[in-house]
Amino acid sequence: MAAITLELLRHYAAYDAWARDRQWQVTKTVEEGELICALQGLDSLGSKWAHLLDAIDLWLTRIGGRNPGAMPDPWRFATIKELEAHKSAVLARWEAFLATLDDERIGHTIEWRNLKGEPAAMPLGNILQQLLWHGQYHRGQISSALRAIGKQPPGTDFLIYLRENQ
C-alpha cells in the first residue's frame, strides 16, 4: 500500500479547507427551507453538509480510540445557524488534530470497528487520505444540491486552488 507523506497530506488538507469554505459561502445564503428540502437523488443540501462533517467527526473519534457506534441523523439540522455551529465545532477539532501530525504518526496503524462492528486497521495517513477524498465526493453532491435550489456553486477544482494559491 502506498504511503502518504505529511507534506502531501497537508497540501490536500489545505485544498479541502479552501474548497469547503468556498461552498459554505454560497450555502449560508440559502433560505432555511432550501437547506432541508428533499432533492431527488441528493437527500438535501443540509443533510449532505451534515454527513460530510459527521464523517470527519466519526474518524476523529475512531482515531482517538473510541467507537462512535453509528452515524448521527444527517437531517437533524433545520437551520443554517445550527449547521454552522456544528461545522465550526467539527472543523476546529479537525484543524487541531491536523496540527498534531508528523511523519511518524501518519505511518502508525489505527485500529477501529466499522459501522457493522467489524474490526479493521489501516495506516493513519491512508485513513486521512480517504477522508479527504470522501469530502471531495460529497462536495460534488453539495454543488449539485446548490444547483437544484437555483444557486450557482463556486468552482472548487484543484487547478483553480493551485492558481489562486501559488
65-79 tens-digit pLDDT: 999 889 999 999 999
| pLDDT value at residue 160 | 97
Q: Which domains does the chain have, with CATH numbers?
A: 6-111+126-164 (1.20.120.450)
Q: Is the pLDDT of residue 1 over 80?
A: no
- Digit-coded pLDDT (tens) for 110-134: 999 999 999 999 999 999 999 999 9
> Across the chain, what does the average pLDDT equal?
94
Question: Does pLDDT of 20 surpass 90?
Answer: yes
Bridge partners (DSSP) listed for residue 122: 110
pTM above 0.85?
Answer: yes
**Confidence class for position 11, pLDDT limits 50, 70, 90:** very high
- In angstroms, the CA 30 to CA 61 distance is 31
Residue 4 has pLDDT above 90, yes or no: no
Q: Is 154 exposed, middle or buried (0-12, 13-18, 19+ CB in 10 A)?
A: middle
